[in-house]
């Protein structure tokens, strides 16, 4: 995993599978190369998830430590049309370049 950042632009996180058991490996094997998810920072992860649940969105991953964000909690939501949304509450990023 590597973060890439350009001034006055968005941050991009690139992910490479560690082994053939990785979800990322499966995605690449099945066509990959497309946008997997968007990540948004929110002020309160629990409140944001509660709001999205109320709107009928499906929570894919309840809050858990995310190594890309120095083990701060992350969560994933299915936002329809095959797009997943990652929610974070932190500005921390591991290995930012």
Note the pTM of the prediction, 2 decimals: 0.69
CATH number of 2-88: 3.10.180.10
Question: In the chain, what are the domain boundaries?
Answer: 2-88
Q: Which of 58, 77, 79, 75 is nearest to 90 (CA)?
A: 75
Percent of the chain past pLDDT 70, that is, above it, reads: 91
Q: What is the per-residue pLDDT for 97?
A: 46
DSSP conformation class of 58: E
Point out which residues pair with 85 in neighbouring strands.
38, 77
The pLDDT of residue 15 is above 90: no
């Amino acid at each position: 995993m590597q973060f890439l950042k350009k001034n006055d632009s968005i941050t991009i996180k690139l992910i490479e599978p560690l082994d053939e058991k990785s979800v990322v490996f499966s995605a690449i094997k099945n066509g990959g190369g497309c946008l997997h998810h968007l990540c948004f920072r929110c002020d309160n992860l629990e409140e944001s998830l509660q709001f999205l649940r109320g709107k009928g969105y499906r929570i894919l991953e309840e809050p858990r430590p995310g190594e890309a964000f120095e083990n701060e909690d992350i969560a994933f939501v299915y936002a329809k049309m095959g797009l997943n949304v990652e929610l974070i509450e932190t500005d921390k990023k591991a290995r930012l370049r």
